[in-house]
């Protein structure tokens, strides 16, 4: 039978746009967020409100979550009034960047209840979420991935299955390692351009067409130049992701000096009260602002 109702939990910077794409795509939508105010625009468009994650799970064939931290994922799925307290059959999809170990635990406990669980973290930030152009990397059973691919296609442009439970989270760690270390290069390049007296806007526009091109250079360097600290992705969340990646690397006996340095610099910014700023705020470390 075709899926009619989707539940969505977590309506933050990315989640609200992702949920709206599902509503616009013709699905009935049931939502929950810790602060109901963030759900109001979706409710005005026809979404239904649920009082708990368990209530969402009881009302929808598919439940999608994108929350802040692994502890939030654990609470939403396994805690009191959590999704797996009431979910019977159907699908659950965690799109939070979280722990591969937790993803495998949720998969196992969901399967025992006849529920197919996927870990499907996303990349692309607020811009990708608004435009339905996210990168979605998925772990879990292939049959569940195939069944939910039409839903993923409403939110993302690059959607790929990587294997058993936890594989999506491991793939996202690869992405975060590349981004975090790459942001060092982007921030250093912008700082160098400013300090050398060049017009940084012209420099970034020029080198974006060559070998230095990257998403961060094209999309976040202009924010650095403008002094725009608004979050497309929070510093506190990249710190969380880097911590997970470093824990995984330790288990693999793999040293990641670039990632270690990036986390140290971001930790310093967070200690200065910038944890709710966007990751592009790294430029302030170099400019000593």
How far is it, in rounded angstroms, from Cα 277 to Cα 138?
Answer: 28
How far is it, in rounded angstroms, from Cα 224 to Cα 253?
Answer: 35
Using CA atoms, how far residue 84 sits from 9, 116, 154, 219, 226, in Å, is: 13, 11, 25, 38, 45
Under 8 Å between Cβ of 41 and 16: yes
How far is it, in rounded angstroms, from Cα 100 to Cα 105?
Answer: 9
- Whether 88 is catalytic: no
Under 8 Å between Cβ of 121 and 169: yes
What are residue 97's phi and psi, to 5 degrees? Answer: -80, 115
Contacts by 108-115, CB closer than 8 A, 24 or more apart: 108/165, 109/77, 109/78, 109/84, 110/77, 110/84, 113/84, 113/87, 113/88, 114/88, 114/89, 115/84, 115/87, 115/88, 115/89, 115/90, 115/91
Catalytic residue among 87, 172, 240, 263: 172
Cα 274-278-281 angle, rounded to 5 deg: 65
Which residues are known catalytic residues? 172
């Amino acid at each position: 039978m075709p899926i009619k109702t989707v539940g969505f939990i977590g309506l933050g910077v990315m989640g609200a746009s992702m949920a709206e794409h599902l509503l616009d795509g013709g699905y009935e939508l049931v939502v929950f967020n810790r602060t109901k105010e963030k759900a109001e625009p979706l409710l005005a468009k026809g979404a239904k409100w649920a009082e708990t994650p368990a209530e969402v799970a009881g009302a929808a064939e598919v439940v999608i979550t994108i929350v802040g931290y692994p502890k939030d994922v654990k609470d939403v799925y396994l805690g009191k009034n959590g999704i797996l307290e009431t979910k019977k059959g159907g699908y659950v999809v965690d799109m939070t960047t979280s722990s591969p170990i937790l993803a495998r635990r949720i998969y196992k406990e969901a399967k025992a209840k006849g529920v197919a669980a996927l870990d499907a973290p996303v990349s692309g930030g607020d811009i990708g979420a608004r435009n339905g152009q996210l990168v979605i990397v998925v772990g879990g059973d292939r049959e569940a991935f195939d069944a939910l691919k039409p839903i993923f296609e409403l939110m993302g442009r690059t959607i790929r299955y990587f294997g058993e439970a936890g594989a999506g989270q491991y793939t996202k760690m690869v992405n975060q390692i590349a981004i975090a270390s790459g942001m060092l290069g982007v921030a250093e390049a912008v700082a160098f351009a400013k300090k050398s007296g060049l017009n940084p806007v012209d420099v970034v526009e020029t080198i974006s067409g060559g070998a230095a091109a990257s998403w961060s250079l094209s999309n976040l360097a202009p924010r650095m130049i403008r002094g725009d600290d608004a979050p497309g992705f929070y510093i506190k969340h990249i710190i969380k992701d880097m911590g997970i990646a470093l824990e995984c690397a330790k288990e693999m006996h793999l040293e990641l000096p670039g990632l270690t340095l990036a986390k140290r610099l971001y930790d310093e910014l967070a200690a200065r009260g910038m944890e709710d700023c966007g990751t592009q705020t790294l430029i302030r470390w170099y400019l000593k602002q």
